[in-house]
Chain A
């Protein structure tokens, strides 16, 4: 079945450091790919998405490129801020018997220190 693998962390960085969170996937079809962010005590918010190969999703300084050849969707940010501290989830959307099936990775906790 479909699956998503991502580095579990925790990842601890200093403010203004470069961030990479790796995400790879396994899917039988042609999935759409997503990054979600979860702040403490809250639900998940969509950060960015890409729906086909070579698409780049971007939002709030975060970027991720859909790489079909390496089945990856790594999240990057050039300069992190303390406010970026959260848990980040990589996810894919694929077709299933009932329509859309979402599969989430385990999440990566990011802590940014001032």
Chain B
């Protein structure tokens, strides 16, 4: 069966510090991968998606970047965090088929102080 991992689970970082969040998927190959952000009490905002190694597309301009160095690894990064980067970050994977669901990881709670 497929599983998706995210770490760390929680993170408190000062403004201006770098960020690296990691997501890995097991039990599937060539998945579509997604990074979402959920601000407190808000819905999900798609940040990045990837259909293959090294292929990254951004949905909104922001202070963040993403990379996919391996088929089942997706990394979210920032060189200098802003207060507005605080939120709950969710990684998800999917097959890309229209009728299939996306499967979500447990999330990372990021607080920027």
Question: A residues touching B (Cβ–Cβ < 8 Å)?
Answer: 31-32, 34, 36, 41-46, 49, 51, 89, 93-95, 98-100, 102, 104-107
Question: B residues touching A (Cβ–Cβ < 8 Å)?
Answer: 32, 34, 42-44, 46, 49, 51, 57, 90, 92, 94-107, 109
Q: Which residues of B contact A93 (CB under 8 A)?
A: 98-101
Q: Which residues of A contact B101 (CB under 8 A)?
A: 34, 46, 49, 93
Number of A-B contacts (CB under 8 A): 60
Does B42 lie within 8 Å of A100, measured CB to CB?
no
Q: A100's contact among B43, B97, B104, by CB below 8 Å, is which?
A: B97
Does A104 lie within 8 Å of B100, measured CB to CB?
no
Q: B90's contact among A31, A34, A44, A51, by CB below 8 Å, is which?
A: A44
Does A100 lie within 8 Å of B107, measured CB to CB?
no
Does B98 lie within 8 Å of A100, measured CB to CB?
yes
Q: Which residues of B contact A41 (CB under 8 A)?
A: 107, 109
